Structure 1
Amino acid sequence: MPANEKLKEKISHLPHKPGIYKFFDDNGIIYVGKAVDIRKRVSSYFNRSAQHNKKTLKLVSQIKDIEFTIVDTETDAFLLENNLIKQYQPKYNILLKDGKTYPYICVVNERFPRVISTRNKLNDGSRYFGPYPSGTTMHVVLDLIRTLYPLRTCTYNLTPENIAAGKFKVCLEYHIGNCKGPCEALEDEASYNHYIAQIKNILSGNLSVAKTYFKERMAAAAADYQYEVAHQFKQKLDLLDDFQAKSTVVSNTLTNIDVFTITSNDNCAFINYLKVMNGSIILTQSLEVQKKLDEEDDDILASVVVQLRQEFESTSREVITNIDLALPLDNISVSQPQIGDKRKLINLSLKNALYLRKEREGRQEKNKDLSEQRELRVLETLKKDLRLTELPRQIECFDNSNFQGDNPVASMVCFKNGKPSKKDYRHYNIKTVVGPNDYESMYEIVSRRYRRLLNESQPLPQLIIIDGGKGQLSMAVKAFKDLDIYGKIAVIGIAKRLEEIFYPGDTLPLYIDKKSESLKLIQRLRNEAHRFAITFHRSKRDAGTLKTELTDIKGIGPSTAETLLLKYKSVKKLRDLSLEELQAEVGKAKAVILYDHLHQVNQ
């Protein structure tokens, strides 16, 4: 049964249930999708081909197998799809970077806890805050904590027994005032833990507890005429105020909200995420997502919301966005606010997304302009080096290929504006020449190529390159004269040994500087034409060998040989098949004949 028939048969037995489906090619999973009705969704890929774009049609053409998993609800399907995409990273799904290397601030689970940075979140009883979108952001917060509170940085095991035994001595951090010496019992555990409680509040986005503490201590010191101490607390309070000022304050009435906005073009989506706690934006992240199948904005944003919430460990039950978004997650509300403070949040987030879009599109346009400038410069150099009358925006190069006179073929490759235009490449089977005659073969293919262009009123190239010396070049010129286009197109020949450039009727070759960009472009064309011809010749030769070998087997006819040839291409691939696999292709009787012959030959 052909592969497409097998797929249709499998699709007809898919369930009308919610779940996920996986598409496979010969190498593994290429796409994971979710569906409320698996059969209807999968069938749509094959039944509505006229409605699909090129990317989706390419995906469908590569599908060799389908698997599915039924789940209870649409929510389960949504989460399972997200997990499978992260696990398998299929090439046709949008992919986001994994957040495993984001930094955290860790309050270590130990006596007199240290506050440290880490990228490894362990299940060790410590308290982790974050992750932070960058190391710079994390260090700003960590530096604030270490400036506000005298914390130890040593790794001593400060058990009561070790401290009582006098095992440790204070270090330089104690002498410069950054630590109060708990290692020598110079600070009690209750006071230290009071600092840690405030630090946890600050790291959770709640600065009010720490600010109240410093205000009270400042007032008490001032009342006791300890003005220098009061000033120290005033400085700490100013640090907190300055830190809070740098965090955008939205509204004290807004807390624990996730803000997502999206804008997109044909190729990419640009997304911004703001995390709001206690009236302040404590985290912001902008990212670009490459589209794989021209996905809609709501599909892209739904996937991104789930992943970013997981990576940044959001516990918010409220998500606000700039588009209508169906997010099938339990206990999560999604809305599109139109007025008030929440709308201001949307506008701020969207401004960031639009800025990212403008910056990336500007960079792409700049790179495109630079590339076009370089291409134009190379073509201008080529025009000057070859003394051409017009800029060679379209260049075509010809090459012949044969093996001891067998299967003579030829190729033509086309470059437009200095780049390969593969849709214009052509293969040629030599039809009028008997035996290994490269000169006559060149005459045939050049004649065929430009006779067709003339008949179809297609534009002619500005430059033609013949891979070979004077002989092949003279036959190309003869073809041009017979077509009455000689002199209308520039034509040169290139000899491989010394990279000599020949002109028609000129006995002396032209030598271009070996480092010249124009010579490198000519070499690229020549090498590409050679590769294209060799690949075609090899496939034709292998196909002929396979067909001959199969038809030499008694009981295997031309039709069976042709079917196997189209699918397997080589004897080696046929030999790797089991008897059962061969039976599925050609039936039991022929499979036995083939299997015995191939494995006898192999012995």
Structure 2
Amino acid sequence: MDIKKIDIPENPGVYLMKKGDKVIYVGKAKNLKKRVSSYFNREHIDEKTRELVKNIESLDFIICNSELDALVLENNLIKRYSPKYNISLKDEKTYPYIKFTKEDYPKITIIRTTKSLDTESGYYFGPYPYGCRNLKKTLIKIFKIRDCKRDMSKKYDRPCLKYFMNLCTGPCVYKDVMHEYRENVENAKKLLKGRGKEVIAHQKAKMEKASEELRFEEAILYRNQLKELENAEKSQVAEYDKAVDEDLFVFSIEGERLFLCVLNMRDGKILEKKSSGTDLKGKVFDNLFQEVVTDYYSKHSIPKNIVFQKENEENSEIVGKWLTLKSGKKIDLYFPKVKSRRMDLLDMALLNLNRDIESYFTRKNVLEEGLMSLYSILELKKIPRRIECFDISNIQGKDAVASMSVAIEGKLSKKEYRKFKIKSKDTPDDFQMMREVAERRYSKLKEHELPDLILIDGGLGQLGSVGNILKKLKKSEFLDIISIAKREEEIFKLGETTPYIFPKSEESLKILQRLRDEAHRFGVSYHRKLRSKRVLASELDSIEGIGPKRKEALLKKFGSVSGIKKAGEDELCTVLSEALAKRVIRGLNDDGKKKDTGNR
């Protein structure tokens, strides 16, 4: 298998190595491209790894929202496929769950096996690949929920030590705390369900009150608990409670082609991705959503729940009835519109769908067709094998930068990207900035080093600016220069005033759009970096003892002056001495007061 011919995503996710139709290895990665490529671009000492690589005939990927999601998903897929080259996971062991028992006074415990997921005896949250014990301790500290083995049907003479440590309300002795106790349990569940903002707000209020009353040790304890609560609130979408049984169903039309991606979740675990593409050329359809869904579920099993994109809701009534009739049971359809568990899952499905679309349009034959279309329609001097695109990023001329993205054979080539800090003037003159960048880029390049095509993000003014520089350098005869105007995506060619309009579905236009968007993204990130450094320097320059190194350390830690202002003295002391931390707080506050006074 030639790994160079496979378009591997750079996202976090899971990779499945196959021999024929059989999965022989499952792995996860923070960057799929780097991890998978490492199997093929080096000699392996381990004999088992060499044997694995020899047997790989094809690869499949499932992109995840985060590395943590990939970790959980890898665990699920290993159990499903039992791949030959993976370590065998026996006894249904999994990542730990937090359980609340179904009793008058529920207790909190940790379980480590899916065999213990008995919904009759408790409520389950997780899994938690790391931090489960700390999370349980945090919940006990905040909500004072018991984790003992005492029989709650009895009344004991005295509570255990945890009551005296203020880690339990003592329901084994004080039976009148039932209402308060159950409320605490419900708040803990609310937090674990991702609806803990009100709990966090309450915790912040307690912290602030303790601080105002000079109970600093208690305030620090609340602050530490608050951090753990905020960490615990981060969602994991790769596995949920045992009852979840649903499909994440997304599709999109690009040009005359339909792309479909379905993530299958069974027993609360994402277990499979199904992707397909269909040519719509010459096809006739009245309602595409209805036809795609009925065609798919005529060939695949129907789960209890199906999650679709929100724009399909208005066409869902007949689809819902058909699915219910086909399966013989009520099927629930969901169209999430706000941040939620299902929205997170839908985002993951859309990530995979968009990757499938990108992969299709970056295939060699599709790109070649797009490049040939640009060559013939625009009547270029050469087929644009190398295209360089420029974009200017600035706010009223401040911290102005230019960025250059590059496409080779129609594919983005990030290692060729360049960024330029504008030197000529600090006023908002895009034409002059574009002239400067063009001269810096092309004045020293020889004829064979020039691109085939230069793309400018802008209209006729920016196009003319670059054209004049290339003429001055006597290099305009060796290449072509065009621009793309954002409003109507019009393409202008140097020397012509009538724009070219490409159909939105044309790969030729998509090549230019991808380049333009990349140049903009690359430039904006560089501009923000320079602006943050300038703002930080200007506000901290007047504070004695804060030099370049300490400025850099503060920027790295807090990101911006706003971040420094929000930080407390304790946090600043992780970077500065106590005296300097106080000086910074006083200096920034004084600066703010001066500005306010001046405005008045």
Identify the TM-score tier after normalising by the shorter chain.
0.3 to 0.5
Bigger Rg, which one: 1
The TM-score, its normalising length taken from structure 1, stands at 0.39
